[in-house]
Amino acid sequence: MTRGRLDQHILDAVRSDVAAAEREFDDARAWLDAAAQEPMQPLGAEAWVFDPEFTQVVLVRHPWRAWVPPGGKVEPGETPREAAARELFEETGLQVELLAQPAAVAVRSFHPELPATLSLSYVAVVDPSTPLTGESGQPAAWMRLDQGWESYFPDDESRMRDLVARWR
């Protein structure tokens, strides 16, 4: 991964979404303020896709991270929202509108050998009968929120449940 400075319009979009995020974890706002002063790791973005009843979420079976929300690295010139929508389409075949308010912002490492970076989570609501087309070797599936799943990010489950509980 290449470290670099974010273009000002991208940094503005990141700051706006971080400020608007419903939940903040890992002191993400302070982390961004410090990290934005120098070249930083690429950002992460993901989509939390729920069914209309908010009882299920779409997850992707990553080869070593286990079940995780669709997402990945924010590419140069791309906002985190754009990256979340792109990754969602690439990993599930879903091309849907993300809700206006970001769900969460966190600081996390996507690999044990990589430093932590900022990750934004966005929400979409999709009919569970919509077909999912996962990437080769990385199937996508609907998982119930009331039944646990194995994940490299074990806090995701409780964070999603907390978000859904706030909306009910």
**In this structure, what CATH number is given to the domain that contains residue 155?**
3.90.79.10
Residue 143 lies in a domain: yes
Q: What is the pLDDT of residue 141?
A: 96
Residue 3 lies in a domain: no
Residue 38 lies in a domain: yes
Q: What is the pLDDT of residue 1?
A: 37
Pairwise CA distance, residues 85 & 146, whole Å:
25
Residue type, 96: V
Residue 2 lies in a domain: no
Residue 123 lies in a domain: yes
Going 127 to 44 to 91 to 155, the CA torsion angle's sign is: negative
Q: What is the pLDDT of residue 9?
A: 83
Residue 1 lies in a domain: no
- What angle do helix axes 8-20 and 28-35 make, rounded to 10 degrees? 170
Q: Please state the domain count of the chain.
A: 1
Report the candidate in 77, 61, 79, 81 with the shortest Cα–Cα distance to residue 69: 61
φ/ψ (deg, to 5) at 140: -105, 145
Pairwise CA distance, residues 143 & 160, whole Å:
12
Q: What is the pLDDT of residue 115?
A: 86
* pLDDT under 50: residue ranges of the chain: 1-2
135 CB neighbour count, 10 Å cutoff: 14
Q: Which two tokens stand for residue 105?
A: 């912002």
Residue 153 lies in a domain: yes
Residue 51 lies in a domain: yes
Residue type, 61: R
Q: Which two tokens stand for residue 155?
A: 């806090």
Q: What is the pLDDT of residue 38?
A: 75
Q: What is the pLDDT of residue 161?
A: 96
pLDDT tens per residue, range 37-47: 776 778 999 99
Pairwise CA distance, residues 75 & 133, whole Å:
22
Degrees to nearest 5, angle at CA 87 with 21 and 122: 15
Q: Are 47 and 126 in contact (CB under 8 A)?
A: no
Question: Residue 151 is part of which domain span?
Answer: 8-167
Number of helices (H) and strands (E), helices first, in the chain? Answer: 4, 8
